[in-house]
Homo-oligomer: A and B are copies of this chain.
Amino acid sequence: MWIATLIGLRLGTALILISILVKSPLGAFIDVASVLVVIGGMVAATLICFPLRQMLNTLLVLKKVVFNKQQSIPKLIELIVSLAETARRDGLLALENRLEEISNPFVVLGIQMAVDGTRPEVIEDILRTEMQAVAARHKNGKGVIDQMGRFAPAFGMVGTLMGLIIMLGDMSPDTIGSGMAVALLTTLYGAIVSNLFLLPFAEKLGFLSKHELLTMEIVVRGIMGIQSGDNPRVIEQKLSTFVPPKQRPNTEKAA
């Protein structure tokens, strides 16, 4: 995940730069005022939409797009099945000793409640509420980036309109070309910022969110199975349906 995103970012910027430099000096494509209109306008409009804290959170969240460590689903299923085996062999309370080896805090939360003897409905209720809350937070984060991806081309167009109006006010044949070139720069900036950065980032956040929620769904079903003392093999078979056939452990045949 890490790799594709990095490759994509570098490939994209390299392509844009090269296809400019082949035919023109880079300077013709740089205009500070145009950058200000597009980036500044986009940031200003987004600041109006969302509280400051959410904006800052979103910047932190953006790191995920590149540096996120993703939970491996087959390993998660392995862990849950092994917990189920312990619970079946030595009882639910024996799970307490295994809490320390678990790094996923959502699994810890669920197992802890099972060990504490919390009633199954309450466990499922709390875990599902947590899932909904995570989904809502993810959706908010993605929403900020999506919104920025819509504002960038809009302010690109605003900048181009301003440039055209200025150009039309002084139509000497010498400056009309360069005036229009500068006017178009903001639309170009808006299109690149939106299509090469913001929209892909939002899409990636959506993908990561879907993966994390799938992970949580597997944990919930696994914990509920462990709690009700299901056969570890049955738990494994149920959870394996969430994995593409090729990555599944060979249990279906044996089920």
Contacts and interface: CB of A to CB of B under 8 A. Distances in A.
A165 B185 contact: yes
Contacts of A50: 4, 203-204, 207
A162 B19 contact: yes
Given A162-B20, A169-B28, A238-B125, A47 B8 contact: yes
Contacts of A130: 241
Interface residues of A, number: 96
Interface string A46-62: 11111110010000000
Nearest to A22: B33
A24 B178 CA distance: 16
A56 B180 CA distance: 42
Given A8-B48, A47-B5, A154-B191, A238 B126 contact: yes
A78 interface: no
A125 B204 CA distance: 31
A212 to B, nearest CB: 13
Interface centre among A7, A45, A180, A207 (most CB of B within 10 A): A45
Nearest to A206: B49
Interface string A196-211: 1101110110010000
Contacts of A22: 33
Interface in A21-35: 22-24, 28-29, 33
Contacts of A207: 49-51
A249 interface: no
Given A4-B48, A46-B8, A47-B5, A126 B241 contact: yes
Nearest to A204: B49
Contact of A49 (B45, B51, B203): B203
A81 to B, nearest CB: 16
Interface of A: 1, 3-5, 7-9, 11-12, 15-16, 18-20, 22-24, 28-29, 33, 36-37, 40-41, 43-52, 55, 65, 109, 112-113, 116, 118, 122, 125-126, 129-130, 133, 136-137, 147, 151, 154-155, 157-159, 161-162, 164-166, 168-171, 177-178, 180-181, 184-185, 187-188, 191-192, 194-197, 199-201, 203-204, 207, 214, 234, 237-238, 241-244, 252-253, 255
